Structure 1
Amino acid sequence: MSRPHVVIVGAGFAGYRAARTLARLTRNRADVTLLNPTDHFLYLPLLPQVAAGILEPRRATVSLPGTLRGVRLVLGEADHVDLDAGTVHYTDPEGGLGTLGYDRLVLCVGSVNKLLPVPGVAEHAHGFRGLPEALYLRDHVTRQLELAAADHDPQSRTARCTFVVVGAGYTGTEVAAHMQLLTDRLARRTPLPGGVRPRWLLLDVADRVLPELDERLSRTADRVLRARGVDVRTGTSVREATHDGALLTDGEFVPSRTLVWCVGVRPDPLMAAVGQPLQRGRLIVDPQLRVPGRPEVFGCGDAAAVPDPERPGEVTPMTAQHAWRQGKVAGENVAASLGLGRRRRAYRHRDLGFAVDLGGVRAAANPFGIPLSGPAAGVVTRGYHLAALPAGRVRVAVDWLLDAVLPRQGVQLGLVRSWSVPLDTASPELPRVPGPAAE
């Protein structure tokens, strides 16, 4: 008899953990295929450090072929899922079309940038969801400071040195914190004419930074950012974006060449094409992560509306912590459904706390509900990331050590151009740009 075939779509936190769990439990008694556009799992919490030049880009990645023994990797992006036929249709990186049949399917395609109907944002802002965006932001910020140093127009010079981050959640707060330290270092090394200093604005419509986290973490982050000179504005967002700056909802126009969009995420649009009931774009699943009426299909991570046992009637938030744990439960339940593991179980969780890296030795953390700030929080935060990384811990630790004792290189790599990192990460293809790519 042929072995059952399990297809996992997506290798984010949920998909990677599901694949690793299945490989361990099935022990070659089932064929496990992982469909993903890249050959790596991206550890998203380290992206701000990549953008700030603390970590080499590959430090935030984990090789899928190198760490998932017994799992077949298929490079491609899922285009359509036919649940009746039991097939997944995909496009490979070179435009070829392929089809995967399955006995069990795990959908964990994650999320994409959340877009709001704000004029000009799609054209002039950039998100922060992957390595290309992190590398682009580092180059762009470095370039603006270098152009400002040679700019004879005081107004243009000030605009180039003004950086706006929209969204004071986990990502936006860390981006503003790390990039402010980077620009401060670069400006000290090469002073700008006219006494101009880099200026960072962090905006959010909520009444505090990190609105989804504990208020004590919020106060700590707010205090650290303001002490460094970050202009934190709550209850404020962008009304319109242009090439020359951003019009804020309070009526002020901020001249700037940099708008970083970190307002949150939305489920991958693939979920809408699956043809099953959704809750705010997320695939509805039961507590055992199965799709109702489709016992062979499982969903987890940002793309699935998983019931939250701690909050009856609600679903779990779209966080890496939940996705990582749900991936393990999904893998165990798929194995159990094939008779290759223990009995199926419902998803349950315990809040382990959160950690926000604010750059340098500063952080805000509440491990197991214990509020920490300053160097102690910094140690806990980096220790947490080292423990959570599936591989490459020594290389990350070495990069941290080198950054502590050596100056960072303030150079542009030129690897990513503006047109190749559109804000709408769900776009089916990138815009065609004739001739040399323009900034």
Structure 2
Amino acid sequence: MTELRTLKVALLGCGNVGAQVARILLDDADMLASRSGARLELVGIAVRNTDTPRDVELPRELFTTDAGALVKDADLVIELMGGIEPARSLILAAMRNGACVVTGNKALVAKDGPTLHEEADKAGVQLSYEAAVAGAIPILRPIRDSLSGDRITRVLGIVNGTTNFILDQMDSTGAQFADALAEAQRLGYAEADPTADVEGHDAASKAAILASLSFHTRFSLDDVYCEGISSVTAADIAAAKDAGFVIKLLAIAEKLTAAGGETGTETDAAGTTGVSVRVHPTLLPREHPLAAVRGAFNAVFIEAENAGELMFYGQGAGGKPTASAVMGDLVSAARSIVLGGPGRAETTTGKVSALPITAAATSYYIGLDVADQPGVLAKIARLFADHGVSIEIMRQTTHRDADSNIESAELRIVTHRASEAALAATVEAAKGLDVINSVTSVLRVEGV
């Protein structure tokens, strides 16, 4: 029997995910060797403080604070430190020294992915980051590999477990946003400072990565339109529920086609003018597959020309689930080294533009507080028609102000699909209509 070669593995970071990765490398060494074709030897773990208590008991001699020295002699580097620096510099140094890199750093990949890929290409090494999006769910490799012979047209994802838990709590219990957030923090789903989650920044980083792989063009975080969920109220949730919808924070990347586009290039010949990448609270019909994703789970829904509709579902966070994604990338990278081929390159064959939110086509859910008098509905319908927006659903409830004793009505409108620009102009015009007291909510609708 041929003796297996040994590959040196350096681990940068030992938080919840890093500790589980180290445990797997040590406990499952034989299994990993049989699947990768090489012995994967964990030669060191770089941390800020070697005395920090950890949930997993690991050999103390593996720990070091000198990350720079650790990556110099490694064949494989796993970066789980997070943040931009020093993670970026360490990854670049590792690749320039000939090491393949596995990272779960979504913020870095979304911000500086093009530079990292260029360096990986120059060095002929593999850069992988399955763990950067949707935790344990295998989504990036299927997009890059399994669907490489197809054309993806649209991706919709619930890619942040914290916000999905909050919105699910509001939907199932009637809780206010602040109470649902507090419960998420109590259970450990939300950080003490939940800004990155609830304002959509975490999901936006993942949207940029999904768009880049799906449409073979490098998109950055700056290309993503982003809205969070902090303005979603219990009244919005209840009204959506009454109309047969559920509210989710979605990451959306979709190919948009212009009617009568010019020809002359592969992109133009298909009529494609660009890709819209956005994150925002979205109403989904309750029969849509993503509507059934509960708690802190994640799911990604893909539409492709030939494969049709696909959905990937699973745990989107946590030490063990995310470590599973890291190890999948590590075994793949090790096999590429053993076989002696070049690193698996990113396929950026497209040159598709990132489009602003105004170019998107969607439907709107609009809440209006209006005067309860004859002719109001006709005026509102005329305003929508004047802006080229068709109303699909309109529901009205009346209420009387306890202080003024004035009766008014609450209108909940769902429009047909129209351009974002036309819908935004309609909402702006509605604010100036004399029979409308206020626009109480505006949310986008998908899946109708």
Q: Does TM-score exceed 0.5, indicating one fold? A: no
Question: What's the TM-score once normalised by structure 1's chain length?
Answer: 0.26
TM-score w.r.t. length of structure 2? 0.25
Q: Which of these two proteins has the greater Rg computed from alpha carbons? A: 2
Considering fraction of residues, name the structure with more strand.
2
